[in-house]
Amino acid sequence: MKLSVIICAYTLDRWEMLTEAVASCHSQSRPPDEVIVVIDYNDELRARAVREFTNALVIENTMTKGLSGARNSGVVASSGDVLVFLDDDAYGETEWLERLTEPFSDPLVAGCGGWITPRWVGAEPKWFPRTFLWILGCSYDGLPPDRGAIRNPIGANMALRRAVFTLVGGFSSGLGRIGATPLGCEETELCIRYGVRRPEDSFVLVRDAVVHHHVPPSRTTWKYFVHRCWSEGLSKAAVASLVGHDEGLSAERRHVAQALPREVVGSLRDAVPHPLTFLRKLSCIAAGSVVALAGLVRGSRAVKRNPVSLNSASLYQTGDAATSAADDDWRPISIVKVDVDDIPRHLPVSPRANNRVWIELTRQGQILGRQVLWARDGEVSSDDLDEVAKRFESRTPSFVSLPDERLPPISVVIPTICRFPSDLHKLVESISALDYPQFEVIVVDNRVTPDSDLPDLSEFANVVVVSERIPGASAARNRGIRTAAYDIVAFTDDDVSVDSRWLRAIGGRFAASPEISVMGGLVLPATLSTPPQLWFEEFYGGFSYSFDLRFADLKNHGADSLFPYAPGMYVTGCNMAFRKSVLEEIGGFRLTLGPGTPTLGGEDLEILVSLAVKGAVVAFEPAALVRHFHRQTEEEFMTQVSGYGAGLSAMYFSIMLHNPKLIFDMARHTRQGLMRLKKSRTQRSPSVEVSFPETIHDIERRGMAYGPLALFKSWWRFLSLRRQIEAEYGRTARV
């Protein structure tokens, strides 16, 4: 394990302390492999550091001025597997690094925070509560035990795996401001970002990895004490709004309930010999708690009006060199597969391609995950590839390989209004050529007023073309169900391409898991040739939420506490399969939902919820892969987002109207569902730094507000088709 120590400095006033910090790194029982001193826009300081720190790499901050930019410059310049951050006014004890990095033997430890003791300039103020040492940037009474889990380390003494930065980018400017008060919390924000992406990993406290932190007299004044308590209250409100009040304030509640009373009781021994000191300490504890609480209340109100968000920071874009995704010179992003068992030492990028590269990690031909990485000097760093690959090295493919005689026959249904005849022909041709023992392809022509001719598909022996004049994807799919000759019915759309093992993955999963009734598969982008195609992946996290095999029903649904009311985790309309018997039993797709109706979507999600509440077992099989051709223009993307929002709310509204018994159960999940919906899009984005327009949030909300009205419009439209519907469905149609 290679260690890099990064020390950021900005002023000559701390020269002696900076010298002490650098010297302590070189006197360690476990010396670092490199020490990097980052000078934050101070030419005089940089010249002196270069001259005198001959045993360290001195660089200048090439990013945004300030601590976050300086740290990020250090991350880019470093080569260590673990990056250790030490403040320029602190120094480590002899065994500091050795002890701080011991927990990294556990692969699930993403970072460590050491213990920080105050180094008082002058006598220690006896009145200062040790439970409030956080005001000084030091460790305080009430922290977890040694090796206990923490939300984030304190920046003056922390170590983070390089994988943290590879996955979520660098330090941002923190959580912004409330009023005129900067919230800071750069390391808190970074660790929350990482925790959302990798909830199974942890950050731990190492109490015996000690550094001493310089505390000047200016930080022991009453004014400074009150100001820091107020600022901390504001910051905690912002953190709680991101991770939830239960998680965001759990440590603070424990601190108030246990650590503060313990210090008050412990101070009683000073009440008689030092009554003034005792009263002053008691006053500090009481006043500090009240001021911090007031800041929390003020901050909570402020973030309700102006929510804070997680803001990723790219490590490889600086100043004017940053290229906006909307620029005219935007170049296509390469999609590259990398085998986790055979990581290339060099991954060159075409000079005509974007500096960002979409990496898909594979094993035995199955995609295990994806990440957007930056290319530097014409290639993707092998270190970055190694760090991303480590996240997937323990994963095993879910693809079930069965002999042909065990694979069930499949009917593939493709509803179409034939916007692009050549694309439909290519899709049918590719499906017809799949290596699968027995299947048929049913193309459902849903052109109500044909604007283009259906391509000639008679050359394909296993293709059937049928017509459905009731408008909408749901009606077209229902026609496909009635036409299907086999019990397994797979659905896809005419704007995708299918993987060569698509049908084998579907058939293998149904054969290996006979209990499942519904199955969704993985959907990835076919191309990333325009900014809106990347926006789709950044905003939604793509069509698929996971790369893991998953099963769920009402009794057993693992960590999915919203099941079945978050159906997008399992199915999407362009890649899903059902047992025909369950579709016939429920009556097929609801005609008033879906593309081709005023609701514009929601039919695929509605049918999963309807089947799940009846006890169906649902599965997500990531080996069943299709690639979707995302909308290419900004106008198309905005329309799609609005439509998805409308379809989502129309779907929930439809479920409540048709099954009122579910209203109370849905209401019970509402708070958690809104919290999940509220989470920043950056948390599921494959990109470290998102590029979609901020206005897209408003467009989605307006679409969701329109959804219930769209549902009523759809009902009204289908009333005029009642005779046609009854002729096809009888009186059992799901409208």
Which residue would you say has higher pLDDT here, 419 or 627?
627
Residues 6+ apart with CB under 8 A from 452: 418, 419, 421
**β-pairing verdict for 576-579 and 516-525:** antiparallel
**Cβ distance 351 to 378 under 8 Å?**
yes
Q: Which of 371, 390, 409 is the last residue of a domain?
A: 390
CA-to-CA separations, 695 to 443, 685, 689, 702, in angstroms, rounded:
38, 17, 17, 11
440 domain residue, yes or no:
no
Residue 513 has pLDDT above 50, yes or no: yes
311 lies in some domain:
yes
**Mean pLDDT, residues 384-399 taken together:** 86
Whether residues 187 and 316 share a domain: the answer is yes
Residue 246 has pLDDT above 80, yes or no: no
Residues 532 and 386 in one domain: no
The DSSP line for 701-727 is: HHHHHHHHHHHHHHHHHHHTTHHHHHH
**DSSP characters over 207-257:** EEEEEEEEE-GGGGSHHHHHHHHHHHHHHHHHHHHHH-HHHHTHHHHHIII
Task: Say if 385 falls within a structural domain.
Answer: yes
Query: Each residue of 447-474: pLDDT tens digit?
Result: 987 667 889 999 999 999 999 999 999 9
pLDDT, position 615: 93
pLDDT given at position 104: 95
Same domain, 586 and 659: yes
More confident residue, 322 or 125: 125
In this structure, what DSSP letter does residue 108 have? T
- Does residue 607 have a pLDDT over 90? yes
Q: Are residues 312 and 365 in the same domain?
A: no
pLDDT reported for residue 348 = 87
Residue 499 has pLDDT above 90, yes or no: yes
Greatest distance between any 2 Cα atoms in the chain: 101
Matching residue, tokens 């934050």: 40
Residue 383 has pLDDT above 90, yes or no: no
For residue 275, name the pLDDT band (cuts at 50, 70, 90). Answer: confident
Q: For residue 689, what pLDDT band results from cuts at 50, 70 and 90?
A: low
8 A C-beta contact, residue 647 and residue 601: yes
Helices (H), 255-366: 260-267, 275-305
Same domain for 364 and 319, yes or no, is no
Specify the number of domains making up the chain.
Answer: 3
Asked if the model's pLDDT at residue 673 lies above 80, the reply is no
> What average pLDDT does this structure show over 346-361?
85
Q: Is the pLDDT of residue 492 over 70?
A: yes
DSSP result, 496-516: EEE-TTHHHHHHHHHHH-TTE
Helix, strand or coil for residue 542? coil
**Residues whose CB falls within 8 Å of the CB of residue 458, separated by 6 or more in sequence, listed in order:** none
CA distances to 412, 451, 620, 672 from 446, in Å: 16, 11, 28, 38
With H, G, I as helix, E, B as strand and everything else as coil, classify residue 597: coil
Q: In terms of residue numbers, what domain contains 366?
A: 354-390
Beta bridge mates, 150: 203
Cα–Cα distances (Å) from 61 to 374, 421, 471, 659, in that order, read 19, 54, 60, 60
Q: Are residues 648 and 719 in the same domain?
A: yes
**Domain for residue 458, yes or no?**
no
With bands split at pLDDT 50, 70 and 90, how would you rate the model's confidence at 375? Answer: confident
Q: Are residues 626 and 673 in the same domain?
A: yes
Helix (H) or strand (E) holding 520: strand 516-525
Q: Does residue 503 sit in the same domain as residue 636?
A: yes
Integer CA distances (angstroms), 471 to 271, 449, 599, 710, in order? 83, 10, 12, 15
Residue 188 carries which side chain, given as an amino acid letter? Answer: T
- Token pair of 383 as six digits: 């270190």
The predicted pLDDT at position 191 comes to: 87
Residue 689 lies in a domain: yes
- Mean local confidence (pLDDT), 312-322: 53
Closest listed residue to residue 526, CA positions, set 440, 423, 621, 652: 423
Tell me if 503 sits within 8 A of 627, measured CB to CB.
Answer: no
For residues 609 and 651, give the distance between their C-alpha atoms in angstroms, rounded to a whole number: 10
pLDDT confidence tier of residue 319, bands split at 50, 70 and 90: very low
Write b or e for each residue in 361-380: b if 16 or more Cβ atoms lie within 10 A of its Cβ, otherwise e: bbbeebbbbbbbbbbeeeeb
Residue 623 lies in a domain: yes
Residue 79 contacts by C-beta under 8 Å, 6 or more apart in sequence? 2, 4, 33, 34, 383
Residue 310 sits at the vertex; the CA angle it makes with 312 and 238, to the nearest 5 degrees, is: 145
Cα separation of the two ends of the chain? 62
Residues of the chain above pLDDT 90, percent: 56
Three-state DSSP at 8 gives: strand
Average model confidence (pLDDT) for the chain? 88
Q: What is the mean pLDDT of residues 493-498?
A: 95
Name the token pair of 95. 């065994």
Q: Could you tell me the sign of the dihedral formed by the alpha carbons of 40, 46, 50, 52, in that order?
A: negative
Which of 390, 408, 436 lies at the terminal end of a domain, its last residue? Answer: 390
User: Which pLDDT value is given to residue 325?
Assistant: 40
Q: How far apart are CA 526 and CA 544, in angstroms?
A: 14
Confidence category of residue 322, pLDDT binned at 50, 70, 90: very low
Residue among 109, 130, 129, 137 at smallest CA distance from 206: 109
Together in a domain, 380 and 506: no
* Residue 716 in this model has a pLDDT that exceeds 60: yes
Q: What is the pLDDT of residue 445?
A: 95
Residue 382: the pLDDT is: 81
* 498 has pLDDT over 60: yes
Q: What is the pLDDT of residues 102-117, one digit of tens each?
A: 999 998 999 999 999 9
In a domain? residue 159: no
CB 568 within 8 A of CB 634: no
Place 329 in a pLDDT band, splitting at 50, 70 and 90: low
Q: Residue written as tokens 């470290």?
A: 688
DSSP label of 259: I
Same domain assignment for residues 284 and 361: no
313 and 381 both lie in a single domain? no
Query: What is the average per-residue pLDDT within 569-588?
Result: 95
Could you tell me if residue 180 is inside a domain?
A: yes
For 516-556, write each residue's pLDDT tens digit. 999 999 999 999 999 999 999 888 877 777 899 999 999 99
List b or e across 583-610, with b for residues whose CB sees 16 or more CB atoms inside 10 angstroms.
Answer: beebbbbbbbbbbbbbbbbbbbbbbbbb
User: According to the model, what pLDDT value does residue 310 have?
Assistant: 61
Pairing of strands 617-628, 496-498: antiparallel
* Of 136 and 329, the one with more pLDDT: 136
Q: Are residues 358 and 311 in the same domain?
A: no
In this predicted structure, what is the pLDDT of residue 694?
80
The reported pLDDT for the residue numbered 561 is: 84
* pLDDT above 70 for 729: yes
**What pLDDT, on a 0 to 100 scale, did the predictor assign at position 590?**
95
Lowest mean pLDDT of 52-56, 212-216, 301-305, name the range. 301-305
Last residue of a domain, which of 333, 366, 390? Answer: 390
- Residue type, position 571, single letter: V
Torsions phi, psi for 255 (to 5 deg): -65, -45
Question: Which range, 172-176, 384-388, 562-566, has the best average confidence (pLDDT)?
Answer: 562-566
Question: Residue 557: which residues within 8 A CB-CB, separation 6 or more?
Answer: 563, 564
Give the number of other Cβ atoms within 10 Å of residue 162's Cβ.
Answer: 21
